[in-house]
Amino acid sequence: MPSGPSTPPVPTIHEAERESGPSGAVLRGPLIEMAAAVARRKAGQDVVVCGSDVDANRRLAYQIEATVGPATRPQFPHTSAGPMSLPHLHQRNRSPDGHTFYEADKRKTKKKP
Amino acid sequence: MKYFTRDLIEHYGCLDDEAVFRSAEAEWEARLARYEAGLKSIEPELPEHIRVFTRLLLHDAIVWSIARQGDKLIMVLRKDVPPKDVVILTYTLIEEPVIDRDALSPDYRGEVMDYKYDEFELIRDCGQRTYAQSILFGNGWEMSLRFSDVQVSLAQLVYPLPGTVFVPASAPAVAPSA
Amino acid sequence: MKYFTRERYLAFQNFDDAAMDAADDEWENATDRYEAYLQTIRPDMPESVRQLEDGFYFHDARVLSMGRRDETFVISLQLDVPPNELLTITYALAGSPEVNKEPFADGKDTPSPWWLYEEIEQVGAGDRKHFVHSILFSNGWEISLPFSDVQVSRAEPVYPLPGTVFVPASTPAVAPSA
């Protein structure tokens, strides 16, 4: 049976928290739906969008953050964020606290133990 | 800034054109790699406390104040990367700081002054070692510092409570008096 | 606090004439007694403590942050009197700080708390002699800091700009439980 065109990978949303210390790593928690992600962000907690399609990850991350309130543009990681940091967005007025991170080509989450 | 320039930041923030964004992303990674390689190469020459300073994770730290006294510049921040400590940086300046208050277009500025990106440099001049740092803040300020030393003080936050963010009010409030 | 207590402060907020007169008298009385007490301990105060006690007018200063790291406690604040200097007070602790976070009973949310009143007390004798700095803030918090030494650094503000007041951003919503 001939194989059909592959469907693009769909990003997934997870609870997230940042690892304390010098790594800047984002720890990936349980899978959640969009509504739960927005609620979590409104409570000042982090979420992360994971997947192999960076553009799709970024678009979804922006959608989550923009639903909470006026969101920044994507913020690229930097030395001062730690070597394992991920690109992210947050609220323009930094309230509520927290970020929506997303995985990029060479920047991935760690699974929360 | 030499690496993390306004153009690159604004291209990276381009939400409407994914081709522009992808190109900026690739350029960012390349420049970040070059910057970090440069930082690594000078590390052996840095005193331990300066090395500690260069390793502080201050991205997205909220800046509560910046102040001057003589040759000292003091910055008080709250880290965003856990542990979310209070950080007090005390620079011993060798030149006046240069502050550009329009380093980002209005569309790219936030309401809160947070620490976005910085570049640190070692300056060798006639056997003397001094330092330079450019810092880009989220409110669009870019501050360039030349200094001979910096002291770092870290403390676990007692106040404000975690999650509290203060934003500039649109009109001045009046402090309660006795 | 023994003299400038929460109760005496709150008594001022009662705008009934008779109540205010009584509160006024009570406050004057407390001030006189505190001054008399200070005179008894002033000769024993090291210079740094004397500077803390009468070198600054703290009332209505905006508290930027408080933090603790091991035996050091740091308070960062911006004075209300021009030129609105930034002060960093670093205490070498001589015991555990007490932090009472009970808000004032009127339930009003105070944006960015102000420093209301403070007292210095000498405790212990001989080698165990140290001081306690007690501070009442406008959000109802009260802290008592036992310390053996204190340093105050002062600087002129670069940020925030004079006249800027900070208010808490909107309170985050509570996430539904899983």
Hey, where are the domains in chain B? 47-155
Residue A5 lies in a domain: no
For C74, other C-beta atoms within 10 Å of its C-beta total: 21
For B120, other C-beta atoms within 10 Å of its C-beta total: 21
Chain C partners of B163 at a C-beta cutoff of 8 Å?
A: 172
Whose CA is closest to A28, among A113, A108, A110, A89?
A110
Cα B100 versus chain centre, distance: 13
- State how far residue B94 is from chain A, nearest Cα, in angstroms: 24
Interface pTM, i.e. ipTM:
0.85
d(Cα C91, Cα C82) in Å, to the nearest integer?
A: 25
Q: What is the pLDDT of residues A63-75, one digit of tens each?
A: 999 999 998 888 8
pLDDT score of A58 more than 80: yes
Q: pTM of the prediction? A: 0.85
Residue A98 lies in a domain: yes
Residue A82 lies in a domain: yes
Give the H or E element holding residue A110: strand A110-111
Which chains are within 8 Å of A by 3+ CB pairs? B, C
Residue A96 lies in a domain: yes
Residues 6+ positions from B133 with CB-CB distance below 8 Å: B118, B119, B120, B121, B144, B145, B147
Would you call C175 and A45 a contact, using CB atoms and an 8 Å cutoff?
Answer: yes
pLDDT score of A38 more than 70: yes
**What are the φ/ψ torsions at residue B121 (nearest 5 degrees)?**
-140, 145
d(Cα B178, Cα C95) in Å, to the nearest integer?
A: 31
pLDDT score of C14 more than 80: no
Give, for all 178 residues of chain B, the pLDDT tens digit: 988 888 888 877 766 778 888 888 889 999 999 999 999 999 999 999 999 999 999 999 999 899 999 999 999 999 999 999 999 999 999 999 999 999 998 888 888 899 999 999 999 988 889 999 999 999 999 999 999 999 999 999 888 877 777 777 653 344 444 3
Minimum Cα–Cα distance from A71: chain B residue: B110
Nearest Cβ partner for B65 among C157, C167, C168: C157
d(Cα C71, Cα C83) in Å, to the nearest integer?
A: 31
Prior bond of C172 cis (ω within 30°): no
DSSP calls for C82-138: TTT-EEEEEEEESS--EEE-PPPTT-PPPSSPBEEEEEEEEES-GGG-EEEEEEEET
Whose CA is closest to B169, among C32, C68, A53, C169?
C169
Are B77 and B111 spatial neighbours (Cβ–Cβ below 8 Å)?
no
Specify the number of domains making up chain A: 1
Would you call C67 and B165 a contact, using CB atoms and an 8 Å cutoff?
Answer: no
* pLDDT, average across residues A86-109: 91
Residue A7 lies in a domain: no
Are C6 and C27 spatial neighbours (Cβ–Cβ below 8 Å)?
no
Chain B partners of A74 at a C-beta cutoff of 8 Å?
A: 12-13, 15, 21
pLDDT at C102 (0 to 100) = 82
Domain span at residue A53 reads 12-108
Residues 6+ positions from C23 with CB-CB distance below 8 Å: C8, C11, C12, C14
Residue A104 lies in a domain: yes
Residue A6 lies in a domain: no
Residue A97 lies in a domain: yes
Instruction: Quickly state the pLDDT bin for C170 (edges 50, 70, 90).
Output: low
